[in-house]
Structure 1
Amino acid sequence: MTISIKTADEIEKMRVAGRLGSEVLDYITPFIVPGITTAEIDRLCHEYMVNVQGTIPAPLNYCPPGYIPYPKSICTSVNNVICHGIPNDKPLKNGDVVNLDITVIKDGYHGDNSRMFMVGDNVASHAKRLSQITYDCMWIGIEQVKPGAHFGDIGAAIQKYAEKAGYSVVREFCGHGIGSVFHEEPQVLHYGKAGTGPVMQAGMIFTIEPMINAGKRDIKQMNDGWTIVTKDRSLSAQWEHTILVTETGYEVLTISNGSPAKPEKYLLG
């Protein structure tokens, strides 16, 4: 496994791409209300990326081996959809939860992040708790990042916290290295054993994006070839940031003015 070490120039381009990716989520936030369709959300994000930012939506026509080209510019995963939900014409309802996964390309480099959104004023407390625990999981994973740490430290910390909350961690999908290539080494698992896996070095850039299920971890792929749902139809949540390993720790690259703050304390203490 070869994990690329980014140059100072590449890191600066990743900072720009990361901020722009986060700013798409800032832009779309006021539109996430009951009655809007995920197709309309996709259209608004696409126009903002292309016409305002001058970025390229990385998911559009993305086609890894074994897949058909992804048909939209963002991923919209509602309720029991774990990831890769394709935007459609079904309106969001009061009480839904939705993950918006945004990746932009700017000057050849990718900025990849996602956030959970609560739709309307009637979201159940158990759905809010799942989202908060998942947000905690992402940050607990981020806190493991420093030169000399092992990638297994990230997954171990996330798994321990998620399972303490009574939830399960999706294992088939993971974080990934990123730069001029959308998905590169390493795979960043959200479960596992501390002290295992490759050793982190300054200049590595990758995503941490835990997918946490309220029920069991088992998944099912829908007939569209992309959408992944919980097999038991339980709720799922995901948060994602792109992270740089620095000489002393980490830097979150997907931060903008509207980014939710790092938790001052975690829900489970």
Structure 2
Amino acid sequence: RRNSPVCHAAFRQFYMASVRDKDSRDVALNAAKPGITTTAIDDLVIDFLVSKGAYPSGINYMGFPRAVCMSVNECVVHGIPDTRPLQAGDIVNMDVTCYLDGVYGDTSDMAIVGGETDTQGMKLVNASHRALEAAIRACRPGQPFNAIAKAVVQVAREERFTVNPQFCGHFIGTEMHLLPNILHTPEHGDMDEPMQVGQVFTIEPVLCEGVGWSRQWNDGWTYVTVDNGRAAQCEHMVNITPTGAEILTKRPGAVGCDEGREV
């Protein structure tokens, strides 16, 4: 189903859902220490969301068995939490969704377990954040949606990484995934439809070492790179305003695209 600009009265619901979602994301990020399992982090997120009156909407979404998608190193997206302890240097994407007062929140970011990894891994993580920031800066009323993909690919090329073309962002509201999809690679669809004030959607590019394509495991969810290169992804919900884009899932005190200012 296609989404449409949100009326002013509904924005409080969006703000509250996005606040709960980004707070639960930060619970997951802060818990990512050497030795903890992703299942244990998943349990922490569930407990936090329930304590705040929100529903962890990843649970059983299209059959997903847990609440949070946790993608480690070469896992591109949709990693299922398990009992393997995290190790120092792992790059872990935490993709958290919630449902509150009739609308959904959706955001993700990466934790570097132990606080540091190798030079190439740090470069990959930083490039992923830069790509998301550039994409958000490209958003404004009247701007075609394909400006997002062009901004992402430009950063990836500058940093000598690839953009996975198989996964995309999406409009969001009373359903988790609404059309149109938000593409991150221009060659896989030229969206020249202009952005409008009040539209709310996610931007969530995946940057990879190597060729950038992925294959699915037999669990029906987990996607890993075909060449075992690592992947890095971060995601924000944005609201198109008269002057740019407002980040709904901002992190207080963060820099760059996480500052939450209109860009």
Q: TM-score range by the shorter chain?
A: over 0.9
1:221-260 pair list within 5 angstroms: 221-257=216-252, 260=254
Decide whether aligned partners of structure 1 residues 185 and 208 sit closer, same or farther in structure 2, where only a CA change above 3 A counts: same
Alignment-derived partner of residue 213 in structure 2: 218
Gaps of 5+ in 1: 64-68, 265-269
Quick one: which of 133, 136, 140 aligns to 1:139?
133
- For 1:11 and 1:256, locate their aligned partners in 2 and report how far apart those are by CA, in whole Å: 19
Quick one: which of 96, 109, 120 aligns to 1:126?
120
User: Is the contact made by 1:150 and 1:195 (CA closer than 8 Å) also made in structure 2?
Assistant: no
- For 2:8 and 2:201, locate their aligned partners in 1 and report how far apart those are by CA, in whole Å: 16
In the TM superposition, what is the alpha-carbon distance from 1:222 to its structure 2 partner?
Answer: 0.5
Q: CA RMSD in A?
A: 1.7
- For 1:195 and 1:229, locate their aligned partners in 2 and report how far apart those are by CA, in whole Å: 26
> Would you tell me which structure has more helix in proportion to its own residues?
2
Could you tell me which amino acid in structure 2 is paired with residue 185 of structure 1? Answer: L
Alignment-derived partner of residue 62 in structure 1: 61
User: Is the contact made by 1:19 and 1:256 (CA closer than 8 Å) also made in structure 2?
Assistant: no
Moved more, 11-20 or 136-145: 11-20
Alignment-derived partner of residue 29 in structure 1: 29
1:155-194 pair list within 5 angstroms: 155-192=149-186
Alignment-derived partner of residue 82 in structure 2: 88
- For 1:263 and 1:39, locate their aligned partners in 2 and report how far apart those are by CA, in whole Å: 29
Q: After TM superposition, what 4+ stretches of structure 1 lie above 3 angstroms from structure 2?
A: 193-196
Please give the secondary structure, in 2, of the residue aligned with 1:29: helix
Decide whether aligned partners of structure 1 residues 263 and 181 sit closer, same or farther in structure 2, where only a CA change above 3 A counts: closer
1:41 has 2:23 as partner? no
In the TM superposition, what is the alpha-carbon distance from 1:196 to its structure 2 partner?
Answer: 4.2
Identity of aligned residues (%): 35
- For 2:170 and 2:248, locate their aligned partners in 1 and report how far apart those are by CA, in whole Å: 14
- For 1:184 and 1:197, locate their aligned partners in 2 and report how far apart those are by CA, in whole Å: 18
Residues 173-199 of structure 1 deviation map (CA, whole Å, 9 limit, x = unaligned): 000000111000111111117984211
- For 2:257 and 2:174, locate their aligned partners in 1 and report how far apart those are by CA, in whole Å: 30
- For 1:177 and 1:8, locate their aligned partners in 2 and report how far apart those are by CA, in whole Å: 17
Gaps of 5+ in 2: 259-263
TM-score, normalized by length of structure 1?
Answer: 0.91
Could you tell me which amino acid in structure 2 is paired with residue 17 of structure 1? Answer: A
- For 1:3 and 1:182, locate their aligned partners in 2 and report how far apart those are by CA, in whole Å: 11
Task: Count how many residue pairs are aligned between Structure 1 and Structure 2.
Answer: 257
